[in-house]
Structure 1
């Protein structure tokens, strides 16, 4: 049997962060129902600093581990090891509360069966940006320094513990994650999401105009679409296979978090240098001359510029609300993107992974003739 360890501990410091938390908590509630429906799941241990989640202890298989740890003091690896030892977990599945919110019960069951089938094996959805990881035996973590993040855990299991790696099939359910408001925009403009999540999305009335314009471009006949940021081969393959588009791809700094490059201030971007030379206005003017729409994972550009924007700044930027952004560089970049003559959607890594997957899943077979 598999024990599930869910970590959901956040604190909102601005209205936009509170909005994201509402959606994450709704996705968590949907995930709890799906996990409980998997026969191979024995216990669901929810580690959280949110007192309202104590009510979830009445749900099937759920145990609530309430703590008072501020997010800034939370260490993923140390708390993971602590829970594994206290609950004597043999085979573990760990994830964030809102991770893979569109995953199905069947996909969760497949994951559990794969990790139970053999010792020294781990199953994940993404090698360099893991949102969900199951591994067996869990006690292996005692042999290594505690991984700081789930991304680092996947690398530890693969390269240090020498576990066999099994990747979940690339589907909307295994690739989509809720990290930023852009992910909410993608969902709000789509038919996807569980009952609780859809209820919150409908109440938020999010601005989806840019996304609708991007969809119109994607449904055309070989329009040029720019993908910028940490672009992986699966996103390119999905778009090329299912939609009639011409892609202009500029991929940089994949794995910048998992490999520690962001933490060590080693992120460098060719587009970032160009942006410094010409400024945001000319950058987006030239972009509009080469593409009919753009999806930009701008965290690479921010990191190259030496920026570590506050969550509120990043999130307001994702929503296009540049007037609420405090950081001058992020504000000007966002303003220029909003004023660009083509639809530009800004976001994080999830935009160009699960976000692309969601767009393709919704639009395939609907091209205009």
Structure 2
């Protein structure tokens, strides 16, 4: 049985500044991941599927496959399964596996049994390990990598194992706020850290919002695809009180078309400006998963525009709806953060760790009103 490592790197054609730096960060993380994977000495083949093959010609030991014109992830994966029907495959997108170690790669690969899959999230995966011995899979219609584990478990009876969800297993580079979290927390491999050190990237509204986490008199509201992990993390790792409005989970893996939020609907009838200007009565900061708002409104927002909203950079916004949204948020007297799912559930925990370390706590746990130093 062969061991195959398959990494996917797709570069968006958007020429905007934020899209470019996210692409470059993914490329840097990819180079770190390739080296870590090769150093395990477990794999018979290391394959990179990308729409920019010329950027990776320096690695003689790497098979580079040009996937231009092959949009569906399932079709690209099926190529490998047909070539190597009796194999164990480690798959990762270039923006994920930032914290995956060689020891973990070995453990998860060796933990596979016949027709099983191990994923960081069985419902919306960023990386996974799969053993499809003698199992023919009809997966060419699968558009993205996120839904592959769910499909093989539900339709083909694979034994599904989920890696413990935390800020490390869930982290995915999916926007500029993720880069801010990594840079402040001083996390990532050599290439990724080197790239981040060259960036002058900041968000003053975000800096103001996260200070609430260490203040027991404050309340912070999270709205969107909030994970159980984040709720538990915030319970024990913050001094502030937290509130949650959870909706939209599974939106991507199940398809966001037709997503409806009764809360957004009620607010939109009144006007978002009404919500933002009255939030002070309810909380001291809001972290809003803006992608569920876009889905509710039926807006197909370009990648660069989404990133500009995340960074609260109105100067680079062309979309009138987003400009109006950001201008309304600026009228609030509390910080309002627009973000993606990845930052909400894994970037924020990294920033909270960084905040406590900055205050002199190496590790900490908040319980019963007492912050304790934990010696490990």
Regarding TM over 0.5, the answer is yes
Aligned to 2:197: 202
**SS of the counterpart of 1:122?**
strand
Q: Distance in 2 between matches of 1:62 and 1:89?
A: 21
Contact 1:238 1:360 (8 Å CA) reproduced: no
Aligned to 2:6: 5
Q: Distance in 2 between matches of 1:308 and 1:51?
A: 29
- Computed over aligned residues only, the root mean square deviation of the Cα atoms, in angstroms, reads 2.2
Aligned to 1:157: 152
Superposition pairs for residues 1-369 of structure 1, below 5 Å?
1-13=2-14, 14-58=16-60, 61-69=61-69, 74-88=71-85, 90-115=87-112, 118-137=113-132, 140-143=135-138, 146-221=141-216, 223-260=218-255, 262=256, 265-362=257-354, 363=356, 365=364
Shift of the 253–228 alpha-carbon distance from structure 1 to 2, 3 Å rule, reads same
Shift of the 171–39 alpha-carbon distance from structure 1 to 2, 3 Å rule, reads farther
Shift of the 203–300 alpha-carbon distance from structure 1 to 2, 3 Å rule, reads same
Q: Distance in 2 between matches of 1:340 and 1:34?
A: 45
Q: Distance in 1 between matches of 2:184 and 2:244?
A: 24
Contact 1:57 1:64 (8 Å CA) reproduced: no
Higher helix fraction (1 or 2): 1
**SS of the counterpart of 1:176?**
coil
Contact 1:91 1:136 (8 Å CA) reproduced: yes
Contact 2:89 2:129 (8 Å CA) reproduced: yes
Shift of the 321–18 alpha-carbon distance from structure 1 to 2, 3 Å rule, reads same
Q: Distance in 2 between matches of 1:112 and 1:287?
A: 48
Deviation track 1:146-191 (CA, whole Å, cap 9, x = no partner) reads 4222222111111111111111122332111011122112222222
State the shift of 1:222 in Å. 5.1
Q: Distance in 1 between matches of 2:150 and 2:82?
A: 21
**SS of the counterpart of 1:172?**
coil
Contact 1:3 1:43 (8 Å CA) reproduced: yes
State the shift of 1:269 in Å. 1.1
Deviation track 1:256-305 (CA, whole Å, cap 9, x = no partner) reads 11112x1xx21011232133123232221222321122221110011101
Contact 2:3 2:89 (8 Å CA) reproduced: yes
Q: Distance in 1 between matches of 2:139 and 2:53?
A: 32
Q: Distance in 1 between matches of 2:302 and 2:330?
A: 20
> Which region of structure 1 is more displaced relative to structure 2, 11-20 or 312-321?
11-20
Q: Distance in 2 between matches of 1:347 and 1:139?
A: 42
TM-score, normalised by the number of residues in structure 1: 0.90
Q: Distance in 1 between matches of 2:136 and 2:316?
A: 43
TM-score, normalised by the number of residues in structure 2: 0.88
Aligned to 2:360: none
Structure 1 unaligned spans of 5+:
none
Contact 1:226 1:249 (8 Å CA) reproduced: yes
State the shift of 1:68 in Å. 3.4
